[in-house]
Chain A
Amino acid sequence: MGLKTPLYDKHIDAGARIVDFGGWDMPVNYGSQKEEHHAVRRHAGMFDVSHMTIVDLSGERTQEFLRYLLANDVAKVDEPGKALYTCMLNEAGGVIDDLIVYYFDNANFRLVVNAATRDKDLAWIREHAARYDVRVNERADLAMLAVQGPVARTLAAPVIDELWRDQALAMKPFTALYAGEFFVARTGYTGEDGWEIVMPAESAEATWDRFRAAGIVPCGLGARDTLRLEAAMNLYGNDMDESVSPLESGLGWTVAWEPAERDFIGRAALEEQRASGGLRRFVGLLLEDKGVLRSGQTIVVEGMGEGEITSGGFSPTIERSIALASVPAGDYTSAQVAIRGKLLDVRIVATPFVRNGKIRIDIS
């Protein structure tokens, strides 16, 4: 038996099939995973993401600490509630975790990190926080629900007190605010509009019930994975880990090189990689034939070498198989994938595959 979120009983009530995820008993699907996927693309779905680790940081030097700890620069966010996506690197430039950091003021930030990496993340953060006198407070007392889809915010808004409701609905993407007991962020992991809502654990069940009554569809980790794959959002442990740098896992855009004098953990290693060149590409793939791309499958690029699929699956929106892959450096637009001893054609496509309900790649 694994750890259980405050919504475990609600998942069982909703008919969830439960799987282990990073030590947690989580719903993988309730009914049809494809229907859950489509609910998010076309209407509104909700995900229990209470297993994720919320860490509040405080202390006068918190901003200074995070500018050293994280590869993106928290100095870019200077309005209360602004969020930033970033990697946390080791000295070799490998990715310890990817996370979202929320700014409150220079002495107060919130991090949301992955569940499966909780222990090593906390150890790493604490190890470095000590020198900055930054307090590290894990918020195990909180639950988190993601409501995602074109009408998700509209359907979810009634749980927010009138006092803050209009302000919450007016929030820009990657922004958050406190609304009474709720911490509401316009973020997500699906490629759709929506909120991620943090709340006291004891409020989670009532909020879940209100969302269900409003017609928001319970969605499991299965749909979460196909949605984030279509949106070409990286999954830690699949698409990157400590053995690979953000520059070779499609996350170069999250590294803040400027200002040049800012030192952050991993910077020297990344600069060396950037200077030496020949970095592997991280690309989106579309399978030309029938079949399903899966992580671990080998990509063959004639004359260039081999690569590997890091995340793959069937796209319910496109109705074809898509993948993210690490492939050799070079200028080419097609390759082949080895599936059960056969080589099938794949096309390299610009990601995301799907965004805001629309297919963004040419599938002709």
Chain B
Amino acid sequence: MSEMPGDLEYTKEHEWLRREDDGSVTVGITDHAQAALGDLVYVELPEIDQELDAEGEMAVVESVKAASDVYAPIAGVVVAVNDELADDPERINTDPYGDGWIVRIKPSEALDSADLMSPDEYQAMLDELDD
């Protein structure tokens, strides 16, 4: 059973989003995703001010097992990246929804909740994957 905070929204790519008060959106990967990847050893982050296309490549997370692309869940501009991950990528393993956040994006258009899942919907998707 994966841990899953109730105040976040989720994507089918196993990312989470949190809407911040200033209109930006923080993005990370889910507990399920970090467990599947295994121990993270390297994270390649985008540049600040970099423009992202929705579903375009945003970051790369590399574990002891494999490299995996992290896609931008929304179009927008990068306003912050988690620099701590450069020296301590395992923060994603130990605290995927907190210290292991990856990127903060200023969306270029309003978020469409239809593309995002609630915790319950994401859990349902995970349950289906297990079958």
**Chain A residues in contact with chain B, CB under 8 A?**
17, 28-29, 32-34, 37, 222, 226, 290-292, 294, 313-314, 316, 321, 340
Contact = CB atoms under 8 A, between A and B. Distances in A.
Contacts of A313: 64
Contacts of B64: 33-34, 37, 222, 226, 313-314, 316
Contacts of A226: 64
Contacts of B86: 290
Contact of B38 (A33, A290, A291): A33
A314 B38 contact: no
Interface string B10-41: 00000000000000000000000000101101
Interface string B32-59: 0000101101101000000000000000
B124 interface: no
B39 A340 contact: no
A37 B65 CA distance: 13
Contact of A29 (B38, B41, B60): B38
Nearest to B36: A17
A291 B42 contact: yes
Given A290-B86, A340-B60, A33 B65 contact: yes
Interface centre among B36, B39, B93 (most CB of A within 10 A): B39
Interface in B60-76: 60, 62, 64-67
Contacts of A294: 66-67
Contacts of B38: 28-29, 32-33, 222
Contacts of A28: 38, 65
Question: What secondary structure prevails in chain A residues at the interface with B?
Answer: mixed
A106 to B, nearest CB: 44
Given A33-B39, A34-B39, A292 B67 contact: yes
10 contacts: A17-B36, A28-B65, A33-B39, A33-B65, A222-B65, A290-B86, A291-B44, A294-B66, A340-B44, A340-B60
Contacts of B66: 294
Nearest to A226: B64
A271 B60 CA distance: 46
A323 to B, nearest CB: 14
A231 B70 CA distance: 32
B36 to A, nearest CB: 8
Given A290-B86, A314-B42, A340-B60, 10 more contacts: A17-B36, A29-B38, A32-B39, A32-B93, A33-B64, A33-B65, A34-B64, A222-B64, A226-B64, A340-B44
A147 B45 CA distance: 39
Nearest to B65: A222
Contacts of A290: 42, 86
Contacts of B36: 17
Contacts of A34: 39, 64
A34 B38 CA distance: 9
A140 B29 CA distance: 43
Contacts of A316: 64
Interface in B76-130: 86, 93
B65 A292 contact: no
Contacts of A321: 41-42
Contacts of B93: 32
A319 to B, nearest CB: 9
A33 B39 CA distance: 7
Contacts of A222: 38, 64-65
A47 to B, nearest CB: 16
Interface centre among A34, A226, A321 (most CB of B within 10 A): A34
Contacts of B60: 340
Nearest to B57: A340
- Across the A-B interface, give the 6 residue pairs with the lowest CB-CB distance, nearest first: A314-B41, A292-B62, A34-B39, A33-B64, A33-B38, A292-B42
A321 B65 CA distance: 12
B47 to A, nearest CB: 14
A24 B81 CA distance: 41
Contacts of B42: 290-292, 314, 321
Contacts of A340: 44, 60
A74 to B, nearest CB: 37
A236 B36 CA distance: 25
